[in-house]
Amino acid sequence: MNLSIVIPLLNEEESLQELHNWIVSVMKTNNYTYEVIFIDDGSTDSSWQIIERLSTENDNIKGVRFLKNFGKSQALHAGFARANGDVVITMDADLQDNPEEIPELYNMIINQQFDLVSGWKKKRYDSVFAKNLPSKLFNWAARKTSDVQLNDFNCGLKAYKNIVVKNIEVSGEMHRYIPVLAKNAGFGKIGEKVVKHQARKYGETKFGMDRFINGFLDLITIWFLSRFGKRPMHLFGALGSGMFVIGFIAALFIGINKLIRLYYHYPTMKVTENPWFFISLTTMVLGTQLFLAGFLGEIILKTKSNEGRYKISKEINL
């Protein structure tokens, strides 16, 4: 099979039929063998009923329905797990991603041997202050932090080798950083393609300004995971040990100084009245806690499970 097209969606009943027709037209024009996997992320409108109808009319249409809204990352994870195509395309269901871009994305993966190709919506039809400026700041920070040189990390239109999506973990809200996850997994050939951005035709965006705040928090998380995710003890253990040693040396110095002053009958104070004693004691306690945090992190890594991330109520053709 040439292509698996994974489409996460939430309440997109107005656009699904049109998107389906558009994708099918592109597939037929290029003689691709394909599957379209719609992931209904807890829609409350008639989106699932439309997917069911489309699946009866077209055997290439598949569907997964979540019991409730679990988020885009979980939807992509479910789609990646079920994708069988040599190339996996992700796109949004709101018609702002253009299916006409798929053939070139496919060729970049197959012929140019990219592991991943990310779309770049260079010309956008969104509000300048609500989306464009925050998005530019977000992408700048992501480039500096991750060393992945993309202009549009959050573009939903991307293409992957099948082996890439089978070897990355998309959890939490990490769908923004799939190129970083791919790089960390060893897939270094990451490309970018300027794609057309369509103005939203139906409904309204499901994302508010809070996504940028969450995005920066996730950026810190993925920076940490990329450097210390495999060995948290290397960070917490080193910091904890360093703080404990500093605190211990300070406490030892306070004790020795006390004994010397007593020996020479100099005026002195109780150790518990010396504020530096409590500072050194606090440093030792914090160092111990950091060390234990790294130790517990190592244990969690050995026993972590991916079960229970989302609950599926129905599937079609899978």
Domain for residue 35, yes or no?
yes
pLDDT at 126: 57
| Structure confidence by residue, pLDDT tens digits, 134-146 | 677 778 877 877 7
Domain for residue 310, yes or no?
no
φ, ψ for residue 277 (rounded to 5)? -65, -45
Cα dist from 204 to 94, 95, 179, whole Å: 9, 12, 27
By the 10 Å C-beta count (0-12 exposed, 13-18 middle, 19+ buried), 204 is classed as exposed
Say yes or no to pLDDT of 18 above 60: yes
Clarify whether residues 250 and 166 are in a common domain: no
Domain for residue 316, yes or no?
no
Say yes or no to pLDDT of 297 above 70: yes
Average of per-residue pLDDT across 145-168: 90
Contact in structure between 51 and 61 (CB atoms under 8 Å): yes
| Structure confidence by residue, pLDDT tens digits, 180-228 | 889 888 898 999 999 987 776 776 665 555 666 766 777 777 777 677 7
Say yes or no to pLDDT of 283 above 90: yes
Task: Look up the CATH number of the domain holding residue 56.
Answer: 3.90.550.10
- 170 vs 301 pLDDT, higher one: 170
- 226 vs 16 pLDDT, higher one: 16
φ, ψ for residue 38 (rounded to 5)? -85, 130
Clarify whether residues 210 and 183 are in a common domain: yes
Banded pLDDT at 305 (limits 50, 70, 90): low
Clarify whether residues 35 and 177 are in a common domain: yes
Write down which residue in 197, 228, 259 finishes a domain. Answer: 228
What is the three-class DSSP state of 316? strand
Clarify whether residues 50 and 135 are in a common domain: yes
Calculate ∠ Cα 79-83-88, nearest 5°.
Answer: 95
**Residue 250 and residue 57: Cα distance in Å, rounded?**
76
Using left for φ > 0, alpha for ψ between -120 and 50, and beta otherwise, residue 6 falls in beta
Write down which residue in 181, 203, 228 finishes a domain. Answer: 228
**Residue 78 and residue 68: Cα distance in Å, rounded?**
14
**Residue 126 and residue 133: Cα distance in Å, rounded?**
10
**Residue 159 and residue 179: Cα distance in Å, rounded?**
11
Clarify whether residues 165 and 259 are in a common domain: no
Clarify whether residues 244 and 195 are in a common domain: no
Map tokens 């599957």 to a residue.
35
Cα dist from 140 to 121, 128, 133, whole Å: 15, 16, 11
Average of per-residue pLDDT across 77-95: 95
pLDDT at 304: 64
Clarify whether residues 275 and 210 are in a common domain: no
- 141 vs 45 pLDDT, higher one: 45
Domain for residue 136, yes or no?
yes
pTM: 0.74
- Among 224-228, 233-237, 245-249, 314-318, the minimum mean pLDDT is found in 224-228
Clarify whether residues 206 and 83 are in a common domain: yes
pLDDT at 316: 82
Range of the domain at 272: 232-303
pLDDT at 122: 81
Clarify whether residues 138 and 182 are in a common domain: yes
**Residue 24 and residue 18: Cα distance in Å, rounded?**
10
Residue type at 155 in one-letter notation: C
100, containing H or E segment: none
Count of CB atoms situated within 10 Å of the CB of 129: 8
Please state the domain count of the chain: 2
